[in-house]
Structures are given as structure tokens and as C-alpha cells.
Amino acid sequence: MGRLFGTDGVRGVANADLTAELALGLSVAAAHVLAEAGTFEGHRATAVVGRDPRASGEFLEAAVVAGLASAGVDVLRVGVLPTPAVAYLTGALGADLGVMLSASHNAMPDNGIKFFARGGHKLADELEARIEKVYTQHRGGDSWDRPTGGGVGRVSDYDEGFDKYIAHLMGVLPNRLDGLKVVLDEAHGAASRVSPEAFARAGAEIVTIGAEPDGLNINDGYGSTHMERLRAAVVEQGADLGIAHDGDADRCLAVDAAGNEVDGDQILAVLALAMREAGQLRKNTVVGTVMSNLGFKLAMEGEGIEVVQTGVGDRYVLESMKEHGYALGGEQSGHVIVLDHATTGDGTLTGLMLAARVAATGRTLADLAGVMTRLPQILINVPDVDKSRVGTSPELATAVTEAERELGSTGRVLLRPSGTEPLVRVMVEAADIEQAKAVAERLADVVKSALG
């Protein structure tokens, strides 16, 4: 697998890349590293463990629980819950560690392990690196210092986690959703019980699709990566809006009453204005990424709200928010972080807050989302080039400068080397899609000739 930890935990094909042995060993290593870091000092350590409904999550959960308990950590199993619910419960229960078994929006054969530190925050990079190093050193398990007798961890089911998380969501909802009809697409994933329950308790009339997980159908034709069924259902049901989650429900995308998709940039724009009105948008700033649509940035500037852009990935958005004290941030893909109420992207919370804005204003979602105009965005992947030379090629620099001059203030060029493949991504935005396409194709040709 190369380096084990990626930008969002450890992922791979379950029982091929991500085996029970690996899950057990990483869990033991995590317990030892956190103990050495002083996390468990002075008390008996506790961990919260949850999973999405994938079939492989059953044996991987057993391996993680066994590893933690064998290292002297008491385990609270919360069962099938969204990633943000496990993060929330880790903090709310005062646990020392949280573990979520999920591969998010990936197809069913994949699975993943994500660790949360005390408080429900993502583990620091240096701790992940240390866990990986310790795991590698002790692979095989013979050299661990193992507790015996009463020193081993105890395992119990924490069935109250579902209601505790729902109560948290209800407690932060700004207003009720009475009078709204909402279609929910749960991707046959971790929010299949949570999200319908939350929206119903908030007063919405709900229609649910993709909420019958069988362990094998997660993300299969439903959810935020497959919006077709939700768009059709919203129109067919005459609903006010639709909400789509991914497999672990840390994402939220939406659909307006006419069946048009409302992406993460538009959701951020709507929530930014709502939070500013409520006095909650700290420093009058919202955090996006370099891939946020230019239309989002222009709209926020037009409303007098500052936009801070980070690298692509919700981890970078979160880092910026925590470092500078911002309250709202997210990505076009639907990862939206409301830091006062969640330590990670929370798709159910985002959907509730978006619906609450519709209910509070009496305006349609299409009207609210119309605060920004999505500029046409063309993305071309140019393979088999020397991506390391993107920033040093004079020929490419000249071509980019010419393109930016042609596009003016209502267009944008972004060249990004892929993090995992030998290719360069050429992204062009412009008010006119034909212009965006022409400029993107021209730049892609220059990338091929200059870096090939």
C-alpha cells in the first residue's frame, strides 16, 4: 500500500490491502503511541468505535476492538453511525480516542480506518506518522508490552450514541423545519437511520431513498456521487428540496425543487449569509479551496464577505479554520464544516442548517442559492508529463499569463500536479463555456509540449 496514512486515514480494498491483521496492529500501535504521548496519563483509557454498514466493517470492527482492548483500552462500540457522529461522541463522552471504519464515498469493496484524538479532532500528522512507524516496528505482534488480568480493556455496546447525536443536532438547529417537504438520499450508508430521524424530529415531511443498507449496496447508484435518483425524486414528489449524503455522511449536496443540483460552494454561500445575519460568521470570513468556483468568490466579495482559499482537501480547510478562528468552511464536493458545532464535515448537520434557512426565510432553495452564479469550469487531465516542472517551465508560464489576460477578472486558470499520478490537471473557468473550453484545450496542448 506504500505509505499507510493518506489525507483521510488508511484506505484500501478490504481483506486485500486493509486486512484484519493490519486493523488490529494499527489499533495496538495507536494505543501505545497515544499512551507515550501522555494522552492516557492518570486514567484508564477509553475509545469510541463506529462504522458504516459495509460488510467488511463487521470483521474490521472486531479487529480494531480486539487490538484496543488487548492494549488495555476500554472500548465503547457505537455501531453504525456517521463519521461526524463518532467524532462528536468521542468528544462528548470524554474518550481518549475515536475510531471510524469507513471508506466514505468509495465503492463497497473498499474500507478505511480513521482515528480521532480526544475532543473528536483528527489526529495530528506527526501522531499518524508515529503510529505507522510503531506499527511497522512491531509487525507480527510479539514484542508488544501486553497487560494481563484486570489490565486488559473491557468492551461494551453504547446504544445511547444514536439518541445522543440526534439530541446534539436538534440542540444546534437554528429553527424548525415545519412545512417543508424534503427528500433524503442516504447512499445506503451510515446515516440511513440518523438523517431521516433528525429531519423528522425537526418537523419536516420526509421522503427517503437509498436508506436500506444491506452491507453490499453502499454508494451503489445513490448518494452524493450519484444524484440522478434524488433529482428525479424531488420533482416527482413535489418536494421543496433534496439532500444527498455519501457513505459515511460527512458530505452534503442538495437539489432544488426543480431538480437542479446545489453544490458545496452554493451551500457554503447560503450558510455564510445566514451565519453572518446571526452574528456567527467570525471575522466575516468563509474558507474554501483553490478549486472553489470563481463564482463563489465573486459572490462573497459582492456581499462583503472575505474568502480564504486553501489546498484541496477538507483537512486543509479545517487546519485554516482552527488556526485562525474561522467558523465556516468547506469544499465544492459537499464537505462543509461548521466549527462551532462539529469537528469535521457533517452532512446531516449541513443539510439541516440548509433546510432551516429555507424554512426561516420562506424563500426557495433555488432563490437562496442564486446568490452565486456558477461559472463554467473545464477540467482536463494531461497524462504522462513531468509534473514536477509545472512551476518552472517558461513556456508554460507565458501561456498561463496570456490565458489569464484573455479571461480577465471573470475567469481563472489553475494548473495542479496530481498527488498520486504522473499527470497535470488543467482547470479553466470563464463566464462563457466555449471560451473556457478553448483556453483549457490550448493550455493542455502547451502542458504536453512543454512537460512531455
pLDDT tens-digit profile of 95-117?
Answer: 999 999 999 999 999 999 999 99
- What's the chain's Rg over C-alpha atoms? 23
Is residue 103 within 8 Å of residue 111, measured between CB atoms? yes
pLDDT for position 1: 44
Nearest CA among 260, 238, 26 for reference residue 133: 26
311 pLDDT tier (thresholds 50, 70, 90): confident
Higher confidence at residue 448 or residue 78? 78
Please enumerate in sequence order all residues whose Cβ is within 8 A of that of 439, keeping only pairs 6 or more positions apart, or say none.
378, 403, 406, 407, 411, 413, 428, 430
Percent of the chain whose pLDDT exceeds 90: 83
The answer to whether 178 is annotated as binding is: no
250 pLDDT tier (thresholds 50, 70, 90): very high
Give the Cα separation of 452 and 140 in Å (integer).
Answer: 44
Which residue in this structure is represented by grid cell 469493496? 109
Stretch among 143-152, 232-241, 283-292 having the lowest mean pLDDT = 143-152
pLDDT for position 256: 98
Q: What is the pLDDT of residues 29-79, one digit of tens each?
A: 999 999 988 888 889 999 999 999 999 999 999 999 999 999 999 999 999
The answer to whether 52 is annotated as binding is: no
pLDDT for position 389: 85
pLDDT for position 452: 80
Question: How many other CB atoms are found less than 10 A from the CB of residue 211?
Answer: 18
Quick one: which H or E segment has residue 77?
strand 74-80
Is residue 444 within 8 Å of residue 380, measured between CB atoms? yes
Q: What is the pLDDT of residues 357-407, one digit of tens each?
A: 999 999 999 999 999 999 998 999 999 888 888 888 889 999 999 999 999
Q: Read off the pLDDT of each residue in 294-306 and give the average, rounded to a whole number.
A: 95
The answer to whether 248 is annotated as binding is: yes
Q: Look at the chain and count its residues.
A: 452
Residue 145 above 80 pLDDT?
yes
Is residue 276 within 8 Å of residue 357, measured between CB atoms? no
pLDDT for position 198: 98
Query: Which domains, and CATH codes, for the chain?
Result: 5-159 (3.40.120.10), 163-369 (3.40.120.10), 377-451 (3.30.310.50)
Higher confidence at residue 124 or residue 33? 33
Give the Cα separation of 345 and 313 in Å (integer).
Answer: 11
pLDDT for position 386: 86
Name residue 121's amino acid.
Answer: H
The answer to whether 163 is annotated as binding is: no
Whole-structure pTM value: 0.91
Give the Cα separation of 290 and 313 in Å (integer).
Answer: 10
Task: Quote the crossing angle between the two packed helices 161-172 and 347-361, to the nearest 10°.
Answer: 30
Nearest CA among 142, 157, 60, 50 for reference residue 98: 50
Q: How far is CA 236 from CA 151, 212, 255, 262, 268, in A?
A: 58, 20, 13, 18, 27
Q: What is the pLDDT of residues 396-440, one digit of tens each?
A: 999 999 999 999 888 999 998 876 677 899 999 998 999 999 999
Q: Read off the pLDDT of each residue in 146-159 and give the average, rounded to a whole number.
A: 96
Q: Which are the catalytic amino acids?
A: 104
